[in-house]
C-alpha cells in the first residue's frame, strides 16, 4: 500500500539520521545531507540520481546539483524543458564526498554498493513513477537495486521499464557530458523527461 506524505516524511527522516551516522566508507569526507528537505519534495513522483556531493568551502553541498557550473547547466536544462525542481527529488549515488587528500576523486564501486542501501530506501519510500539517472555512476548505482543491462552509450535518452517504474538514463550535466552529448541533444533528452512527467 502506498505511503501517505506523513509516513514518507518520517521514513526519510529515519533514513537521513542513519546516513548522517554512517561510517561504512572509511575515506569519504563529510556526512551526507542529500536525504532531506533540500533534496526535494516527499510528493515528488520523479527521483533523480546524480553522482556524489561536491566539496564546498563550507564542507559538503547539501543540495545536489546546485551552486556550481554543473548545477547551473542542470538548472538551465530543466528550465528549457519546463521542468521545475519542486517536481523532483534529487539525490546522489553516494551520499558522501569522495576525496583523496584535499582533492576529489572518482567514486569507487564498493562505495556505490555500500551506499545503495540508502538509494534503495529512497526508492521504497518515495515509490517514484520515474527514475532519472545522470551519468554512469548513477546508472551503475540503480543496477545495485535491480539489474537493468543498460549503458549510457547505447541507451541514453531512451525510456525503459525497471522495478515496475520508468527509468530514463541521461548524461550527467557536468562539462564532460558535452564530449558525448551536445547541448541540443541534452535539451532533447530533457524534453523526453518532461513528456514522462504527465
Ligand atoms: S557514502 Fe554512503 S555508505 Fe559510504 S559512508 Fe557515506 S553514507 Fe555511508
Q: What is the CATH number of the domain that holds 9?
A: 3.40.470.10
Residue with cell 538514463: 169
Q: Whose CA is nearest to atom 3 of ligand 1?
A: 115
Q: What is the pLDDT of residues 138-175, one digit of tens each?
A: 999 999 999 999 999 999 999 999 999 999 999 999 88
Query: Helices 109-126 & 136-145, crossing angle to 10 degrees?
Result: 70
Which pLDDT belongs to residue 50?
A: 93
Q: Which of 22-26, 27-31, 114-118 has the lowest mean pLDDT?
A: 27-31
Q: Which of 43-52, 142-151, 171-180 has the lowest mean pLDDT?
A: 171-180
Q: How many residues in the chain?
A: 198
Mean predicted lDDT score pLDDT of the chain: 89
Bridging pattern class, strands 28-29 and 46-50: unpaired
Q: Whose CA is nearest to atom 4 of ligand 1?
A: 25
Is 116 a residue whose pLDDT tops 90? yes
Nearest 5 degrees, angle CA 73-CA 79-CA 80? 90
Which pLDDT belongs to residue 30?
A: 65
Ligand 1 pocket: which of 18, 53, 115 to mutate (most atoms within 8 A of CB): 115
User: Helix, strand, or coil here: 40?
Assistant: strand
CA proximity to 137, closest of 54, 30, 73, 49: 49
Q: Say how far apart CA 193 and CA 27 lie, in whole Å.
A: 35
pTM of this structure: 0.93
Which pLDDT belongs to residue 173?
A: 92
In the reported structure, the alpha carbon of residue 54 is separated from the centroid of ligand 1 by a whole-number distance in angstroms of 14
Is 85 a residue whose pLDDT tops 60? yes
Q: Which atom of ligand 1 is nearest to the CA of 111?
A: 4
Domain range enclosing 153: 5-196
In the reported structure, the alpha carbon of residue 179 is separated from the centroid of ligand 1 by a whole-number distance in angstroms of 30
Contact 173, 163 (CB under 8 A): no
Confidence band (pLDDT; 50, 70, 90) for 89?
Answer: very high
Grid coordinates belonging to 112: 556505490
Q: Which of 7-21, 59-73, 145-159, 165-179 has the lowest mean pLDDT?
A: 59-73
Which pLDDT belongs to residue 64?
A: 82
Count CA within 13 A, CB hemisphere, residue 6.
Answer: 0
Is 177 a residue whose pLDDT tops 90? no
* Tally of domains in the chain: 1
Q: Which atom of ligand 1 is nearest to the CA of 117?
A: 3
Amino acid at each position: 500500500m502506498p505511503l501517505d506524505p506523513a509516513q514518507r516524511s518520517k521514513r526519510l527522516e529515519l533514513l537521513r539520521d542513519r546516513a548522517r551516522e554512517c561510517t561504512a566508507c572509511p575515506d569519504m569526507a563529510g556526512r551526507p545531507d542529500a536525504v532531506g528537505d533540500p533534496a526535494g519534495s516527499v510528493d515528488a513522483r520523479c527521483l533523480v540520481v546524480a553522482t556524489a556531493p561536491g566539496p564546498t568551502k563550507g564542507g559538503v553541498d547539501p543540495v545536489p546539483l546546485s551552486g556550481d557550473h554543473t548545477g547551473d547547466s542542470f538548472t538551465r536544462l530543466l528550465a528549457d524543458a519546463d521542468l521545475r525542481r519542486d517536481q523532483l527529488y534529487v539525490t546522489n549515488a553516494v551520499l558522501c564526498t569522495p576525496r583523496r587528500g584535499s582533492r576529489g576523486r572518482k567514486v569507487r564501486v564498493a562505495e556505490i554498493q555500500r551506499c545503495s542501501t540508502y538509494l534503495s530506501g529512497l526508492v521504497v519510500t518515495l515509490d517514484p513513477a520515474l527514475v532519472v539517472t545522470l551519468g554512469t555512476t548513477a546508472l551503475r548505482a540503480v543496477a545495485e537495486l535491480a539489474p537493468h543491462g543498460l549503458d549510457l552509450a547505447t541507451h541514453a535518452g531512451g525510456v525503459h521499464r525497471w522495478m515496475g517504474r520508468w527509468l530514463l538514463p541521461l548524461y550527467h550535466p557536468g562539462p564532460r557530458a558535452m564530449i558525448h552529448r551536445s547541448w541540443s541533444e541534452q535539451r532533447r533528452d530533457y524534453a523526453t523527461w518532461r513528456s514522462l512527467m504527465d
